[in-house]
Structure 1
Amino acid sequence: MKVELEGNASKSPFTEFFATVIQGNSNKLNDIQGRLDHLSGQLEKMGLHGVTPRFDKSVRPETSSLPNETKIFGRDNDMKLVIGSLGVCTNSKRKRATTSVIASTSTSANNNVSNESRKQSLPVLPIVGIGGVGKTTLAQHICSHKEVRSHFELRIWICVSDDFDVKRLTKEVIQSCTGKKATMDNLDSLQHALSNHVKNKRILIVLDDMWDDALKENGDCWKRFCAPLKSAQEGSMMLVTTRCPKVAEGVQTMKPVTLEGLEADVFWKFFKLCAFGSESSNNDPELERIGRSILPKLKGSPLAAKTLGRILRMNLQESRWNRILQSELWKLPQEATEILPALRLSYMYLPFHLKQCFSFCAVYPKDYKFRKEDLAEIWVAEGFVEPQGDDPIQDIGCQYFEDLVARSFFQKVTGGYVIHDLLHDMAQKVSEHDCFILRNKNDFDKVPLNVRHIFIHPSSDFDNSNLLSLCKHTKLRTLICKKQSRNKKSSVMDNWCTKLPRIRVMSCASTNELPDSIGNSKHLRYLKITKGCALSIPPTFCQLYNLQILDVKTCKIESLPDGFSNLSNLKRFVSQGFSYNPVSVCIIDADEQVGVRLIENLNQFSEHLVISNVEDQPEAKLKNKKYLYKLTLNWPGPRKSQIIQHNAVEV
């Protein structure tokens, strides 16, 4: 990039690198290549190749229709809603009316399936919620309900998990109907057999724990599975449990039932049962006080209450309970089937590019409000977003975000999005060596040696000497510092830029001077200053050829260095304008033709570009800035001047 911009091939950095390799390092490179070739050859000889990962049964045990819990807490309204939607009612006259309502509901426009096709297929009611919220338990209690048992002639329970294989599932449904294992292996024969088994029978089929795999082949796989069930008697129903709203949307014929965490009073009763063994009030008052303080961490999750209740019940000492109160949930020991492993299944099922993006979010504190566009920019800067043809890479990053929202990893709130606390704990667990949050002075001793991403809280507990200690973590890619330095010209940023050569994303609370050493940060792609100031930019800044985002929207720039045009990858530059000519955001000032010359090569701009004091703009090469969505040009002088009008046409 340097050669291309400066047009000086004799000083090619590649030539220098190549000369260094020739002088002795080529043996090391050849050795690495040889070892990789050897390993690749061995894998090929052994017949090892990539396979689709499947959930281990020890992590996601198979479920059945029999409830694990004798009593269900806080789901009475959900039970009534689902049972009513199934058309189950004690009054025979009302039952016919309810069935009529359900038939009508199943043909309403709740998804993309046509009304005609819905009449021919089984009505599908999804139950949706994050892992551990109680979807399976609710479905088990519904399936075992006395009135449900008498209403349906056949009740079929299938644990789907992450392998939606039509042939396997069809065999399991047949076995559930007949009590005998299906011996045939031909799908056509299996489907005809299933169609005969359910023909003219009122059935309830429960598909527990469905994942995106059910929607493969553009939904044809799901349609193939449902085809033989059309012969069932009218009034038959299908109940689906899933943690994926996308799956619910793809299979529903009725509005889904969404399970949230249990309400506070009910949750406290359930938590007491888990932690003390009973719901009574004859417990240690101090332990109950600590227990109530622990409760908000669990966000109403029944599985979280069971997990933590088991840990607390093992030791009824106040000191032990207080330690757990002060600790992070993700640091506590857990069995394979408990809350964090259960939530981690959602993470395991993500495609690799989304795993990278979500696990990175562990660097932000709980309840942090995310903006889609801001986070997408950072993902792009980190190198997590893969280009797709000519699509703007920022748009691809935004699509990644939408994909995570569709999988319930982000929740919409006023002013942005948040990550559910339990999912945040899970993210911290999978990223415990990569991401770290500094809250106080003691945390500096706990930072993992090879940490990649750090978030620094605006605490007054530590000073610049603590911040300088981060320089030993030379593999850092991300530094988000919310602490304001008392000395805005401190040496902290200077040292970071000198000793942290791999930094890609840097966000600082405040500084009024970027150090000369910033030119060393050749991998820097994203720079943000969050607090207002008059900012001085040194000439070495123009060596940041990879820089994509310069967000100093609360600052006024003293001046732009002459080589600013070398930042050819700059996509967004936001400031309050220049200290000598204050104007609105996203400004390049054209006073004395300096500003225009400085944006000549900045063709990646994708925001609003404002140029003031326009005279004649051949050097701006505006026609090359194809990603702009808004351009404002301001001419000086009398508005009706013929000279101004002529210049306007020329520009």
Structure 2
Amino acid sequence: MRDTLPAMYDLINKAEWRSHEHCVAKLLPCLKDAVYEAENLLDEFTWYEKKVQVEGNASQSPFTDFFHTVIEGSFDEVNDVQSRLDHLSSMLDNLGLHGIAQRFDKLVRPETTSLPNETKIFGRAKELKQVLGLLGVPTCPKRKRTTSSIDASTRTSTKSRISSLPVLVIAGIGGVGKTTLAQHVCNHPRVRSHFDLIIWICVSDDFDVKRLTKEVIQSCTKKEGANDNLNSLQHALSNHVNNKRLLIVLDDMWDDSLKENGQCWKRFCAPFRNVQEGSMILVTTRCPNVTEGVRTMEHVIVEGLKDGVFWNFFKLCAFGSESSDNDPELERIAKEYFLN
């Protein structure tokens, strides 16, 4: 059973990628229940192992007392759970789940945008300040002024270009608020006034250089690129971003971005060699390999909210207000569940 569980955890992960399919959705909770029962049995056996150690009875086997608790008459709970795991694994295998390529379905993971879903961000003042500092955003935003072609040519000649874009990574586990933080960064007045272009791309687990290049061009021109030749696309993109100070946000990057020994990532970055100094790439990821593979500076780690902040967030979600006067007993139950 101990040998079986790691494979079952992997199978659960694969099933969750396809949980929108009816057959998989029906089997997934059954598999989770069987895994929970297996974990409980192993925990119980571990308890008997500790009991024998504490009592110092070397001649006594922990199996003896343990099996008295799990075998009732002809019913053997251990064999029953193991049989269920084997049966469910076989059924999911017949659905093609064991060989599934783990790719997000848009129904499971919707595309993100630079516009925040929430108007207020909780407990991220420190991280927001850290990101703004690493982006090199001035403390006092300057008002942008309309420039003539003469002004533009003067600015081009006086401001230096950079040969490669610095990359800042926002890292943390799934659901901790990396995307929300990046959205609030993009919409911060100081950021909007500092960069000529702010481009948001939802990468997810499909790091297709051609697709991403097309999306960047569309963000620059507001027109969909018709050309399907990567060379032409990259030259067009290079022209669009030439001498501009830009911020490119690549949201939710996965290990797929490092394929071909990192050549895919380098290929994507190639058109940004003549951007203006001060330009940046901001990446959000839950993958440590991505963090270490693409960052060029100190990364920002987003961790869970502190209890008090999380409680205010929970009240806003549940009751629509942080100052809601709730039933004391319900509040006690909620705090016990969420904060302990």
Distance across 2 between alignment mates of 1:232 and 1:120? 8
Residue type matched to 1:142 in 2?
A: V
**Mapping of 1:36-55 within 5 angstroms?**
52-55=101-104
| Alignment match, 2:116 | 67
Distance across 1 between alignment mates of 2:122 and 2:129? 14
Provide the TM-score with structure 1 as the length reference: 0.34
Distance across 2 between alignment mates of 1:52 and 1:184? 29
| Alignment match, 1:78 | 127
| Alignment match, 2:165 | 122
**Mapping of 1:233-382 within 5 angstroms?**
233-296=276-339
| Alignment match, 1:21 | none
Distance across 1 between alignment mates of 2:303 and 2:139? 28
Residue type matched to 2:259 in 1?
A: K
| Alignment match, 2:56 | none
Residue type matched to 1:196 in 2?
A: N
Distance 1:79 1:216, change over 3 A: same
On the 8 A contact 2:170/2:284 being kept in 1, the answer is: yes
Deviations 1:430-465, CA, capped at 9 Å, x for gaps? xxxxxxxxxxxxxxxxxxxxxxxxxxxxxxxxxxxx
Equivalent in 206, 209, 225 of residue 268 of structure 2 = 225
Give the C-alpha shift of residue 52 in structure 1.
Answer: 3.9
CA RMSD of aligned residues (A): 1.9
Equivalent in 236, 256, 268 of residue 193 of structure 1 = 236
Give the C-alpha shift of residue 90 in structure 1.
Answer: 3.1
Give the C-alpha shift of residue 122 in structure 1.
Answer: 0.4
Of 273-282 and 180-189, deviating more is 273-282
On the 8 A contact 2:140/2:190 being kept in 1, the answer is: no
Give the C-alpha shift of residue 51 in structure 1.
Answer: 7.4
Deviations 1:580-609, CA, capped at 9 Å, x for gaps? xxxxxxxxxxxxxxxxxxxxxxxxxxxxxx
Give the C-alpha shift of residue 277 in structure 1.
Answer: 1.9
Residue type matched to 2:137 in 1?
A: V
Give the C-alpha shift of residue 281 in structure 1.
Answer: 4.8
Tell me the SS of whatever aligns to 1:231: coil
Distance across 2 between alignment mates of 1:212 and 1:254? 19
Residue type matched to 2:291 in 1?
A: A
Residue type matched to 1:87 in 2?
A: G
Distance across 1 between alignment mates of 2:100 and 2:319? 45
Please identify which structure carries the higher helix content: 2
Residue type matched to 1:189 in 2?
A: S
On the 8 A contact 2:141/2:189 being kept in 1, the answer is: no
Deviations 1:161-184, CA, capped at 9 Å, x for gaps? 010000110000000100000111
Tell me the SS of whatever aligns to 1:58: coil
Equivalent in 157, 180, 195 of residue 200 of structure 2 = 157
On the 8 A contact 2:141/2:194 being kept in 1, the answer is: no
Unpaired runs of at least 5, structure 1: 1-42, 44-49, 94-118, 298-651
Provide the TM-score with structure 2 as the length reference: 0.64
Unpaired runs of at least 5, structure 2: 1-95, 143-161
Distance across 1 between alignment mates of 2:135 and 2:208? 26
Tell me the SS of whatever aligns to 2:169: strand
Say whether residues 1:202 and 2:238 are aligned partners: no
Give the C-alpha shift of residue 54 in structure 1.
Answer: 2.0
Number of equivalenced pairs: 225
Tell me the SS of whatever aligns to 2:283: strand
On the 8 A contact 2:243/2:276 being kept in 1, the answer is: yes
Distance across 2 between alignment mates of 1:61 and 1:252? 26
**Mapping of 1:380-399 within 5 angstroms?**
none
Distance across 1 between alignment mates of 2:180 and 2:128? 11
| Alignment match, 1:142 | 185
Distance across 2 between alignment mates of 1:51 and 1:190? 32
Give the C-alpha shift of residue 296 in structure 1.
Answer: 2.9
Residue type matched to 1:56 in 2?
A: D
Give the C-alpha shift of residue 210 in structure 1.
Answer: 0.2
Distance across 2 between alignment mates of 1:184 and 1:91? 41
Tell me the SS of whatever aligns to 2:297: coil
